[in-house]
């Protein structure tokens, strides 16, 4: 079956630091890949997505590239802000079924 | 993307009671989904709700415990029946607006605490 493995958290960074959250997946076929973000006390928001190999999703300074050869979709941001503090979920979609990773808690300190 | 709303946003319930959660979208969608997020955990799919057919439940979830209705293309309800403290979770609905992008968008969630 499909599965998503995310970097263990929690992650604590200082403001303006570089962020990487690792995500690898196992899937049959050609899934679409997503990063969702959950701010404290809120639901999930779609952050970015990529639907085929070598696609780069980007939004709000975050980027992730769909790497089929390494089955990865790592999330990066060059300079994090306090407002980026949230839980980040990597997910894949295949046949309209979403499979989530365990989530990574990010805290950015001023 | 359009607007997805859920009611109630949060509730505190007594053991043994039931709660019905509503999910409303402001445009027609074919597929709606219900998820559970237990405290500090990731999301688990409860069921897929298609208009005009019975909901499809995932392993570990049964209709008697989580009955779902989908009366039209903009609305669905999830009932959590005979609640116990283990049902304390965030319940989220999501929709897939188009069959081409395979992308789900989520409502704000319902935070349920069972005493």
Q: Which residues of A touch B43 (CB under 8 A)?
A: 44, 89, 98, 100
Residue A12 pLDDT exceeds 90: yes
Higher per-residue confidence, B112 vs A8 = B112
d(CA A93, CA B5): 23
Q: For residue A97, what pLDDT band results from cuts at 50, 70 and 90?
A: confident
The three-class DSSP label of residue A84 is: helix
List chain A residues with CB under 8 Å of B90.
43
In degrees and rounded to multiples of 5, residue B16 shows phi and psi of: 90, -10
CA of B67 vs chain A CAs: smallest distance (Å): 20
User: pLDDT band at A41, cuts 50/70/90?
Assistant: confident
Provide the token pair at A12: 């604590």
How many other CB atoms are there within 10 angstroms of residue B6's CB atom?
Answer: 19
List the structure tokens of A27: 């899937």
Strand pairing of B89-96 and B75-80? unpaired
pLDDT value at position B98?
Answer: 67
Whether residues A100 and B31 touch (CB distance < 8 A) is answered with no
Q: What is the mean pLDDT of residues A53-71?
A: 96
Angle, CA of B38, B44 and B52, to the nearest 5°: 125
One digit per residue, the tens of pLDDT, for chain B of length 115 reads 568 999 999 999 999 999 999 999 998 888 899 999 999 899 999 999 988 888 999 999 999 999 999 999 999 999 999 999 999 999 999 998 765 567 899 999 999 999 9
Closest alpha carbon within chain B to A34: B103
> Is A97 touching B (CB cutoff 8 A)?
yes
Residue B8 to residues A28, A108, B26, B112: CA-CA distances in angstroms? 38, 31, 17, 9
Chain B positions touching A101 (Cβ under 8 A) are 42
Interface of A with B in 52-81 (CB under 8 A): none
Give the β-pairing of B10-13 and A104-109: unpaired
What does the pLDDT average to over A76-89?
97
User: A108 pLDDT band (50/70/90 cuts)?
Assistant: very high
Return the number of other C-beta atoms located less than 10 Å from residue B46's C-beta: 24
Query: Is residue A20 scored above 70 in pLDDT?
Result: yes
Distance from C-alpha of B71 to C-alpha of B52, rounded to nearest angstrom: 7
Q: How high is the pLDDT of residue B6?
A: 97
């Amino acid at each position: 079956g499909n599965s998503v493995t995310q970097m263990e958290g929690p992650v604590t960074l200082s403001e303006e630091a570089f962020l990487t959250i690792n995500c690898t997946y196992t899937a049959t076929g050609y899934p679409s890949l997503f990063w969702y973000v959950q701010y404290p006390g809120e639901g999930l928001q779609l952050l970015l997505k990529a639907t085929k190999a070598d696609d780069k999703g980007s939004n709000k300074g975050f980027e992730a590239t769909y790497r089929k050869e390494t089955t990865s979709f790592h999330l990066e941001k060059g300079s994090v802000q306090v407002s980026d503090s949230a839980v980040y979920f990597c997910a894949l979609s295949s046949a309209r079924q979403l499979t989530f990773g365990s989530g990574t808690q990010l805290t950015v300190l001023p | 993307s359009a607007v997805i709303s859920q009611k109630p946003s949060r509730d505190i319930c007594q053991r043994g009671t039931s709660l019905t959660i509503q999910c409303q979208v402001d445009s027609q969608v074919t597929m709606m989904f219900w998820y559970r997020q237990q405290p500090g955990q990731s999301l688990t799919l409860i069921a897929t709700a298609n208009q005009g057919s019975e909901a499809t439940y995932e392993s570990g979830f049964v209709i008697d415990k989580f009955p779902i209705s989908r009366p039209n293309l903009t609305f669905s309800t999830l009932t959590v029946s005979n609640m116990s403290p283990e049902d304390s979770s965030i319940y989220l609905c999501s929709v897939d607006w188009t069959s081409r992008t395979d992308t789900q968008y989520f409502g704000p969630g319902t935070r349920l605490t069972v005493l």
